Structure 1
Amino acid sequence: MPQHKSDQPDELAPITQLPLLKRLAARLFGSGLTRLRAQHAASWLHGQADGFRSGHSAGVDYGYKEGHAEGLEDGRQVLHINDTRSRELRGPGVDDDLFDDWRLPLTAELKKQVKADVAAMLPAHAQPSAAQWKMIFSDTPSTSVVAGAGAGKSTSLVLRILLLSHYLGFELSSMTVVTFTRESRKDFIAKLQEVFGLWGQALSFKQAQDVVRTFHSRILPMVRSLPGYAKLEAFENLSARSAQADEEVESNPFDLRINDTQRQQLNACYHALYTRDERFKTLISPLCRHALQLRALERDHPDVQKRMAVTELAAKRDEELCDTLEDLWFGAGAWPIQGIEPSRETFQINGSTFHCHGYIPQLDAWVVLGFDPGESPQISRPNAKLTVRAECAVKKTLFRAFCDKPLIWIDSYSASKRVLSALADEASAGPGIDYKLKGELSSAPLLDCFVSAASFIENLGLDVATAVGDMRFAKDDPDRFFFEALSLYWRALEDHLLAQTPPVMTYNRMFALFGENSPENFKLLNHEQLRPLSHLMIDEFQDVSPQIVSWLRASLREIRSRGPAMHIGRGAQRSSLLCVGDDWQSIYGWRGSSPKYFMDFNKEFVSPATTRVMLSDNFRSHQHIIDAAEHIVRAAPGIPGKRAKASGEPKTLVPVAVLNRDDQALAAQLMEHYNAGNSVLMLYRKSSDKLLIEKEIQPVVNADSRLPPEARRLKQLTYHSSKGLQADAVFLLGDCQHLTSSPYKNQVYRMAGLGKAGDPEPYDSAQKDEVLRLAYVGITRAIKHCYWYVESQDAQGPNIPKASDRVPKDKAFFEDMRGVTAQTQR
């Protein structure tokens, strides 16, 4: 049907038709003419007009429909292509950067002037390399500097401070350089004063000291600014010297030893809690029993296998042995013991009957008296083939392997005092027992264990009570009771310390007060407390803990949020962070530190722009030492693209020698280097090793100790204590190996988000990597010579990860002499 007029444009409307009668007449007349094959002009014209009108209407109808449809489709396509508006309506996102998007105002002319001044002021060997200049001139809000061993980072850091202060006019009060130890802080302060003096700026010791800080010395003033805490003391700083200035007694963050003043506070809290809290008192009993209990021995142990054959014979003489031992103890005034009920309970040991001497109701444990080492070893029973001491040794071995009841073996008269202390309800001097958590290498006083475990948990940025509540242990695992007791004790200790006059607080608690979980506390700080953190430069950044990272991020976020008002009238504006570190030298994981925050720097410290600098020049060691150390550590995860090269004065290439443990050979080699005028570092893994080697090198120790301190050329330190040091010849005593597995540390590691997802033992995995880094640190202390004396494979035990496993046989930078006889080595 034709479109209605209103649906079409006027020019497409149908043509007007003739009246009906005229149309009929025309058709009749036209038909006749058609038969006659004649034409009538008028009719033809009317027909033509009629046909035109009919065709016009059909054409218009068809064309309009098609054109209209095509036009609509074209219109829709045009609208769809041109309309780029999003159909999703959202609010603005959150700017989570820790810094404003700004750049340090460094011009080409200024850089040229600084370089010229440094060339004129510093000697040739102290001139920065291209990579060091990149670090000094970094203009982005955040900068990470990967500085390997011997990279000369200290001078670069000092020149960075000089640039900000002397050339850009930033106030020193806006800067903090963080070092980890008192020793490194002292060295950096001296270097800062020296360099500033060359530029005509005389820095007093106090001015330099205010810039160069440890994390601890920076957090303490922040907490002291809070209402009521003006005289707050740090628990770690408590000592007999507490009356001195805090700067003098500032603690070492890696020193876990408890002094007498601290122990008094620990004991006082324990006594009060033990007296008032029945649950805490109940938890101590299984800990005491576990601590005093005879340690089990595997049944396939050679001693057990050897003594199993005389089990039946030993059982027959056991009652007589018990009588003899009780007589000895009674004669010494050590038996009976208060709190122990004399009782000859019998035990089935490997199918034979043996006896004990008493029972402790408080601990639900049985007691056996041993042979006191102060008695004559020749004492024997009548007609007995073995001495009483030997008979005791047989019985003890059998009990260790086959006794299935809680048993306390008291080896000496003096040891009975330890039992008495553990049983004393007063507990005024603490529990008086040593405890060993699974995964620790040795036992320690129970309260020391509390402090160590709580510190590890808090270093990971976790709350002790919350972490304990999320832990899981087997029902009868004594560590389950340990951690429940810890949660009660730690909360009580924090309250106890705050109640002192003046109040006392742990450093971890201070950092937590200003961490990311408590940003509201920053509102209590004025601008002056935060300004020193505006431009942060942190050395040894690979050793930071999650707790420290949380405090740093929270502080930087607060500084940014305060905006320009915080910097009115000052040269230093906004904030920046420069971190220097080496993930290969991260060796404090046992304290809760992790290289993760340095390796993932850009993710952990979100910034509009970051500069990455690689300091690859090693100004300390020759290339063989560098290559040997790097070969060991490359098996651990690390920042990609690292490879150091020896720089400075060329040195003779000498491979790192790996030898069998031989203290006499080591002593001879060490004395040879010392007598030749070399500086010497003797590094050891265990304090017992130091005592053994000192007997061998006593002449050198005596000679060196008579020299003034600055002239001494021999230092004996642990691997961990050697960071930052160097010597012509380095002697490494002992392998670097991961010996234990720590169930509780694996759990809290996962809670802190450390380690790989799905790893059931993330802490243990991290420690296996750390032993490689520890070997790297030890080897890279050497300037010219490095000797590594390791125990034999049999002595170390099978399946224990060791750094020396990575020593290759076919590389020029190692000389593996472990198959060579000791005589040949000499």
Structure 2
Amino acid sequence: MPQHKNDLPETLSPVTQLPLLKRLAARLFGSGLSRLRAQHAASWLQGQADGFRSGHSAGVDYGYDEGHADGLEEGRQVLFINDTRSQELRAPGIDDNLFDDWRLPLTAELKKQIKADVAALLPATAQPSAAQWKMIFSDTPSTSVVAGAGAGKSTSLVLRILLLSHYLGFELSSMTVVTFTRESRKDFIAKLQEIFALWGHTLSLKEAREVVRTFHSRILPMVRSLPGYAQLQAFETFSHRGASDDDADSNPFDLRINDAQRQQLNACYHRLYSDTPRFREAIGVLCRHALQLKALEHDHPDVQKRMAVTELAAKRDEELCDTLEDLWFAAGAWPIQGIEPSRETVNINGSTFHCHGYIEQLDAWVVLGFDPRENPQICRPNAKLSVRAEWAVKRTLFRAFCDKPLIWLESYEQSKRVLTTLAGDASAGPGFDYKLKGELSSAPLLDCFVAAASFIENLGLDVGSAVGDLRFASDDPDRFFFEALSLFWRALESHLLAQTPPVMTYNRMFSLFGEHTAQNFKLLSDAQLRPLSHLMIDEFQDVSPQIVSWLRASLREIRSRGPAMHVGRGAQRSSLLCVGDDWQSIYGWRGSSPKYFMAFNKEFVSPSTTRVMLSDNFRSQQHVIDAAEHIVRAAPSIPGKRAKACGEPKPLVPVQVLDRDDTGLVAKLTEHYNAGDRVLMLFRKGSDKALIEKEIQAVVNVDSSLPPALRRLKQLTFHSAKGLQADAVFLLGDCQHLTSSPYKNQVYRMAGLGNEGDPEPYDSAQKDEVLRLAYVGITRAITHCYWYVERQDAQGPNIPKASDRVPKGKPFFEDVRGGAVDRSDKR
């Protein structure tokens, strides 16, 4: 507190005032002294200055003391502020989650009630395991379920739907369960109806079908809701009989082209060929390359063997040409319009041979071959060799030593296709086959166009843009293939949309509602989006980048619409539950990738997620499981996976690996069938099926005479067998990576797939996929599995094979290749 003036030090106290009379006297006395000049003015001034200085000094001391005291007191009452804030100013971040931060309202009491109901209503063999309950009760917005082969996921998925609908009051119209094929959809619908009936809900077939869908049957109504597309048809299901909604459930990996589709392809091709010079030029290059006789190296064994008879073959060549032309003329296949008959001579290894004609349009010479339908024993008069054998010698020599552009017509049928090509016949299309580098076989050119475009679009890429980024050598015919594809695909999309009703590919439909075209969602009503609110997807390891983009865009749009989308409904917000097994991802050759399942949390960003590992295998005995996992474990996968056999104990029988022996296979298969076992024969090549089916015709006849429910023999490709099982499984053929695909490696990189820096990411993925394919085949077996592979010397060198992973000394494999039985450590 400040001091009062009465508290001042004595030296600073003011002088006490004198009485009035004394003050007057002092003033008069002072004035008199001044008049008498008795005052000393300098002394007075000096005193005044001294007084001022002493007073000032004393005042400063007093003021400081007083101010310091006041400051200390006030400082005790004031907050000291130290500003530690960052000087950097930042904008708000982006919430990229696909879901709101919410949880299913599952209380402990509700979970207890559900478990009690399931125990009472489902048989003991169908009771969920602890891991399955974790899947059913997941309360986070996103859930990934790693379910290996035979994990019993179907019942768990149905119970998940029951939880949302029966116990939480979510409308079925807010849910979609996605299966991949018509067969799996049919099975799941039946199980859904069966279990819902136990809880007192009678689901009609129509109601169940609305919930259980394929991706394709879900996108189709979305596009049909757009103005002008109410009657839209999908090209993949287009036919002369018209398309039904059921067609949207067809196998999405089946690219076989029917007659109605081919008619549209051919009509578009003919118009483009007529109107676009650059397209005609590219097709000309492809045609010439496709028809041209493929070269042989000089050191090829066939060339070395037949070089010795070059001079003799040249002497008889004119007579051979006469004989072949007579055969073709008799068959009505010669002369051919557009081919000028001309016996042009060709120098072959120093000898003179002859051609049969010249195609000006292709700038290529033509040689007629020996049609395989002719009698192979036909001979020229006095000739020692058959015409077919003489033709074979000539063909080999031409392949090795002819330097002219040459077309070798192998058959009368091939000549008809060439004729339609030259005539520009709209009903026939290009009329020649083509083989892209990396493909195992050739196919009609337009089929190749469809397959390549579908692969590119499945990767989420635009065909025209992707083609522009591809790179090939200047003389590589594949460069002209993709230039022609780019022109054709754009023309085809316009051609299909111009039909009545309009037609569109499924890939085009998905691209209309992908992440790059999110604005199109504004054209959809809440009712059209609502079925995607709570998604449950099976076989998620087989999704493509195109599908993933559509899923993410749909979920993002649902979240952006907010609570207004769910007013008055029990089902709120959105969720995603995906079930898959990266070890069963076997459709990379169509553009699918397990990446999106393996990196689920990164690909589907969520405020909270749950991962469930279903490790129990209710199908196979442990040796089958261990053998399959040993093969596939070399491929990148989700860590921590190891399945164990559950349920009723089964005998431990090792998987047998044998040399290819069709007679032994037939005997063993017949033995199992006659013993009452269910038998599954899986093959890698269609020719193998035809061969074995002929050998087991007796079994086939018996089985096909039974009602479908009682049949015990199925013959399928490895890829077609997913989801099936049998007591005894016969695998015919190894799983091998045979070729390298330059264009697929390039577009794989464009799509961001594969490891960074890998120059051949697609090929690398395929080397992993052959291991997964073997895993799928082996895990179809309940008890017995027999794997017949080609002998080592019958396979090419340096070809990655799944059977290379078969170990020695492991109890779950019995390798009897080469006749030596590996019985070590068999306990």
When normalised by structure 2's length, the TM-score is: 0.89
Is 1:523 the counterpart of 2:522 in the alignment? yes
User: Does structure 1 conserve the Cα–Cα contact (< 8 Å) formed by 2:628 and 2:774?
Assistant: yes
Is 1:642 the counterpart of 2:641 in the alignment? yes
SS at match of 2:558: helix
Partner Cα separation in structure 1 for residue 497 and residue 370 of structure 2: 47
Matched residue, 1:292: 291
1:406 to partner: Cα distance: 1.9
Which residue identity is paired with 1:167? Y
Bigger drift between 256-265 and 595-604 goes to 256-265
Matched residue, 1:218: 218
Bigger drift between 335-344 and 211-220 goes to 335-344
Partner Cα separation in structure 1 for residue 89 and residue 644 of structure 2: 55
Partner Cα separation in structure 2 for residue 378 and residue 242 of structure 1: 49
Per-residue CA shift, 1:369-406, capped at 9, x if unaligned? 12334444444445544333222111101111222332
Matched residue, 2:120: 120
Bigger drift between 547-556 and 368-377 goes to 368-377
Matched residue, 1:793: 792
Cα 1:626–1:489, aligned 2, differ >3 Å: closer, same or farther?
A: same
SS at match of 2:817: coil
1:339-358 equivalences in 2 (<5 Å): 339-358=338-357
Partner Cα separation in structure 2 for residue 730 and residue 654 of structure 1: 13
Per-residue CA shift, 1:452-476, capped at 9, x if unaligned? 1111110000001111111111112
Which residue identity is paired with 1:595? P
Per-residue CA shift, 1:210-229, capped at 9, x if unaligned? 00000000000000111111
Partner Cα separation in structure 2 for residue 329 and residue 414 of structure 1: 11
Cα 1:333–1:611, aligned 2, differ >3 Å: closer, same or farther?
A: closer
Matched residue, 1:178: 178
Partner Cα separation in structure 1 for residue 402 and residue 773 of structure 2: 41
Which residue identity is paired with 2:155? T
User: Does structure 2 conserve the Cα–Cα contact (< 8 Å) formed by 1:624 and 1:656?
Assistant: yes
Which residue identity is paired with 1:140? T
User: Does structure 1 conserve the Cα–Cα contact (< 8 Å) formed by 2:270 and 2:424?
Assistant: no
1:368 to partner: Cα distance: 0.8
Cα 1:514–1:312, aligned 2, differ >3 Å: closer, same or farther?
A: same
Partner Cα separation in structure 1 for residue 806 and residue 713 of structure 2: 27
1:320 to partner: Cα distance: 3.7
User: Does structure 2 conserve the Cα–Cα contact (< 8 Å) formed by 1:242 and 1:249?
Assistant: no
Bigger drift between 784-793 and 402-411 goes to 402-411
Which residue identity is paired with 1:116? A
Matched residue, 1:817: 816
User: Does structure 2 conserve the Cα–Cα contact (< 8 Å) formed by 1:541 and 1:581?
Assistant: yes
Partner Cα separation in structure 1 for residue 129 and residue 92 of structure 2: 45
1:241 to partner: Cα distance: 3.5
1:422 to partner: Cα distance: 1.7
Matched residue, 1:169: 169
Partner Cα separation in structure 2 for residue 612 and residue 130 of structure 1: 13
Which residue identity is paired with 2:200? G
Q: Which runs of 5+ in 1 are unaligned?
A: 1-10, 12-20, 23-49, 65-77
Is 1:502 the counterpart of 2:470 in the alignment? no
Matched residue, 2:34: none
Per-residue CA shift, 1:628-675, capped at 9, x if unaligned? 000000000000010001111111111000001101111111111111
1:332 to partner: Cα distance: 4.4
Which residue identity is paired with 1:247? D
Partner Cα separation in structure 1 for residue 363 and residue 308 of structure 2: 31
Which residue identity is paired with 1:230? A
Identical-pair percentage: 84
Is 1:109 the counterpart of 2:104 in the alignment? no
1:440 to partner: Cα distance: 1.0
Matched residue, 2:90: 90
1:610 to partner: Cα distance: 0.7
Bigger drift between 83-92 and 789-798 goes to 83-92
SS at match of 1:517: helix
Partner Cα separation in structure 2 for residue 263 and residue 703 of structure 1: 38
Matched residue, 1:750: 749
Cα 1:225–1:333, aligned 2, differ >3 Å: closer, same or farther?
A: closer
SS at match of 1:536: strand
Is 1:139 the counterpart of 2:162 in the alignment? no
Matched residue, 1:419: 418
Partner Cα separation in structure 1 for residue 310 and residue 642 of structure 2: 62
Matched residue, 2:23: none
Matched residue, 2:563: 564
Partner Cα separation in structure 1 for residue 471 and residue 202 of structure 2: 59
Bigger drift between 492-501 and 401-410 goes to 401-410
Per-residue CA shift, 1:457-507, capped at 9, x if unaligned? 100000011111111111121111111111111111111111111111111
Which residue identity is paired with 2:220? L
SS at match of 1:682: strand
Partner Cα separation in structure 2 for residue 684 and residue 802 of structure 1: 15
1:340-379 equivalences in 2 (<5 Å): 340-379=339-378
1:149-298 equivalences in 2 (<5 Å): 149-242=149-242, 245-247=244-246, 250-298=249-297
Matched residue, 1:14: none
Cα 1:588–1:116, aligned 2, differ >3 Å: closer, same or farther?
A: same
Cα 1:651–1:456, aligned 2, differ >3 Å: closer, same or farther?
A: same
Matched residue, 2:802: 803
Q: Number of aligned residue pairs: give it.
A: 765
Partner Cα separation in structure 2 for residue 192 and residue 415 of structure 1: 52
SS at match of 2:535: strand
| Higher Rg of the two aligned structures | 2
1:91 to partner: Cα distance: 1.0
Cα 1:695–1:372, aligned 2, differ >3 Å: closer, same or farther?
A: closer
Bigger drift between 412-421 and 562-571 goes to 412-421
Partner Cα separation in structure 1 for residue 155 and residue 297 of structure 2: 56
Matched residue, 1:33: none
Partner Cα separation in structure 2 for residue 566 and residue 331 of structure 1: 75
Bigger drift between 251-260 and 274-283 goes to 274-283
Bigger drift between 436-445 and 208-217 goes to 436-445
Cα 1:541–1:321, aligned 2, differ >3 Å: closer, same or farther?
A: same
Cα 1:558–1:361, aligned 2, differ >3 Å: closer, same or farther?
A: same
When normalised by structure 1's length, the TM-score is: 0.89
Matched residue, 2:50: none
1:818 to partner: Cα distance: 0.3
Partner Cα separation in structure 2 for residue 575 and residue 602 of structure 1: 16
Per-residue CA shift, 1:116-165, capped at 9, x if unaligned? 11111111111100100000000110000000000000000000000000
1:285 to partner: Cα distance: 1.0
SS at match of 1:577: strand
1:781 to partner: Cα distance: 0.5
Cα 1:286–1:600, aligned 2, differ >3 Å: closer, same or farther?
A: same
1:307-322 equivalences in 2 (<5 Å): 307-322=306-321
Matched residue, 2:46: none
Matched residue, 1:389: 388
User: Does structure 1 conserve the Cα–Cα contact (< 8 Å) formed by 2:181 and 2:249?
Assistant: no
User: Does structure 2 conserve the Cα–Cα contact (< 8 Å) formed by 1:275 and 1:426?
Assistant: no
Bigger drift between 307-316 and 253-262 goes to 307-316
Per-residue CA shift, 1:67-104, capped at 9, x if unaligned? xxxxxxxxxxx97xx43311111110111110001111
Partner Cα separation in structure 1 for residue 378 and residue 606 of structure 2: 77
Which residue identity is paired with 2:742? P
Matched residue, 2:774: 775
1:685 to partner: Cα distance: 0.6
User: Does structure 2 conserve the Cα–Cα contact (< 8 Å) formed by 1:530 and 1:555?
Assistant: yes
Q: Which runs of 5+ in 2 are unaligned?
A: 1-8, 10-41, 44-53, 69-79
Partner Cα separation in structure 1 for residue 425 and residue 547 of structure 2: 39
Matched residue, 1:596: 595
Cα 1:373–1:736, aligned 2, differ >3 Å: closer, same or farther?
A: closer
SS at match of 2:559: helix
Which residue identity is paired with 1:707? L
Is 1:724 the counterpart of 2:723 in the alignment? yes
Bigger drift between 272-281 and 683-692 goes to 272-281
Bigger drift between 579-588 and 662-671 goes to 662-671
SS at match of 2:347: strand
Is 1:608 the counterpart of 2:604 in the alignment? no
Which residue identity is paired with 1:117? D
Is 1:759 the counterpart of 2:758 in the alignment? yes
SS at match of 1:430: coil
Partner Cα separation in structure 2 for residue 352 and residue 624 of structure 1: 64
Partner Cα separation in structure 1 for residue 724 and residue 372 of structure 2: 44
Which residue identity is paired with 2:808? K
Query: Root-mean-square deviation (CA), in Å?
Result: 2.8
Per-residue CA shift, 1:396-436, capped at 9, x if unaligned? 01111222332111123333212211211343321111111
Matched residue, 1:462: 461
SS at match of 1:518: helix
Partner Cα separation in structure 1 for residue 522 and residue 309 of structure 2: 75
